[in-house]
Structure formats: structure tokens, C-alpha cells
Structure 1
Amino acid sequence: MRYVLIILFILIAASVGFGFYIKSEDLKTGEFCIGIGIVALFFVWMPLFIYHRWRKRSFKDYMLTKENLDKMREAGKDKKL
């Protein structure tokens, strides 16, 4: 998954870079390449990246439950001492 994300990011960056390069010669094609790169970044790469980073984590660790609040209070008391 890591290598897929890296390769996909390089392809997206290349598309945006190519769009800026060709924009001086052909405005319509350049803006299209930039637009496709930005859309791919936010609708393809970003969800894959978020999934990759959060797939082995537990959401209960990040929720404010009574147990987690008690742990935070105990940790705060230990720091004061």
C-alpha cells in the first residue's frame, strides 16, 4: 500500500507539473492536466492515505469516554507531582 501511495503521488505531481509546463503553450490542456491532478489528489490519493494511516488503530482510543477521561485525569495528576 505504501508503494502504491508513493507512485500515485509521483504521478499526480507529474500531472500537475506537466500542466504548469504546457500551460504557456496550450492553456486549455494545461488547465485540464492541473485539474485532473488536483481532483485525483483529493478524491483518490487522500482517502487511500487516510485509510492506510488509520487501518490498524482503534477509534475507542480517541473518543472521550468515561474511562479515557479518568486516564487523562490520572496522567495529569502524575505530572503535577
Structure 2
Amino acid sequence: MKILGILILIAIGVGFYFRLTGEVLTGDRIIGISVLVSAFILMPVFLYVRWKGKRLKDYTLSEENMKKMRDRGID
């Protein structure tokens, strides 16, 4: 995952380099593809890795969790 993130940042940098050298269309395509890869591949992989093994119930405001908060003095 770290390698993919670094590759995306490098690709965005290359895209801006192409834009500065006058090849605006090529630079825009590289930047656009990099943004799409980060949104549709990197983000879901990141979310999966971070949420793996965790229970959603622990992070929702259920009646049980509200009671625990009141017992601890957290309002």
C-alpha cells in the first residue's frame, strides 16, 4: 500500500513536470489517471486495511454505548 501511494505521488509529480515542459494534454492525462487510481484503488485498499478486524458496533452510538458513556461521566 505504501508503494502504491508513493507511485501515485511520483506520477502526479511527473504529470506536473509534463505540464511545465509544454505537454499540457499528456500532463493532464497522467495527473487524472493518478487521481482516479488513488480514489478507486488506493482509498478502498486503505479503508479495508484500517477496518480489518474491527467491529462497527464499537464505533456507533447505540443505547449500550450511550450508557457506558454516561457511567464514565462523558456527556
User: What is the TM-score when the length of structure 2 is the normalising length?
Assistant: 0.90
What is the match of residue 54 of structure 1?
51
Distance 1:34 1:11 in 2: 12
What is the deviation of 1:66?
Answer: 1.6
1:22 partnered with 2:18: yes
SS of the equivalent of 2:66 reads helix
Distance 1:13 1:64 in 2: 37
What is the match of residue 66 of structure 1?
63
Q: Which ranges in structure 2 are unaligned for 5 or more consecutive residues?
A: none
After the TM superposition, list the runs of 4 or more consecutive aligned residues in structure 1 that deviate by more than 4 angstroms: none
Matches within 5 A, 1:3-14: 5-14=1-10
Q: Which ranges in structure 1 are unaligned for 5 or more consecutive residues?
A: none
What is the deviation of 1:42?
Answer: 1.0
- The share of aligned pairs that are identical, in percent, is 42
User: What is the TM-score when the length of structure 1 is the normalising length?
Assistant: 0.84
Distance 1:64 1:26 in 2: 52
SS of the equivalent of 2:57 reads helix
What is the deviation of 1:69?
Answer: 0.8
RMSD after superposition: 1.1
